[in-house]
Amino acid sequence: METLLLALLTAALLAVAAYAQYRTRYHTRGPRDALMARALLAAVGVAFGFVTATVYTRTSGLDQVLAFLSGFGAVHVPAAVILFIKRRRGEVG
C-alpha cells in the first residue's frame, strides 16, 4: 500500500516537473536562458532526488527509485507554481 501511494505521489510530482520544464521557455529571454534554467532545475532535482533516495529511504528497489523521482519532482513545485501564476496573469513571453 505504501508503494502505491508513493507511486501516485511520484506521478503527480513528475507531472509538475514536466509542466515546469515545458513552461520555462515561455518565461525566459531566449533559448540559452531557457536551457540554463532547465539545467539548473534538473541538476538541483537530481541532487535532491539522490538525497531523498539515500537518506529517507532505508529500502532498496522500487521504493528507492520512486523516492528519487519524487525528490526530483518536488524541486520543480515552486517553479511550476510561479510559472502557473505568471501564465494566469498573461505574462507570456
The Cα 8–Cα 20 span in angstroms is 19
User: Is residue 24 pLDDT above 80, yes or no?
Assistant: yes
> pLDDT digit string (tens) for 28-58?
889 999 999 999 999 999 999 999 998 876 7
**Torsion angle, CA of 61/57/74/20, rounded to 10 degrees?**
-20
pTM, entire model: 0.88
Distance CA 44, CA 40 (A): 6
Residue corresponding to grid cell 538541483: 44
Per-residue pLDDT reduced to its tens digit, 57-70: 677 788 899 999 99
Q: What is the CA radius of gyration of the chain?
A: 15
Mean pLDDT across the chain, nearest whole number? 91
Domain ranges of the chain: 2-89
Whether 89 has a pLDDT exceeding 70, the answer reads yes
Confidence grade of residue 2 (pLDDT, cut at 50, 70, 90):
confident
Contact in structure between 78 and 17 (CB atoms under 8 Å): no
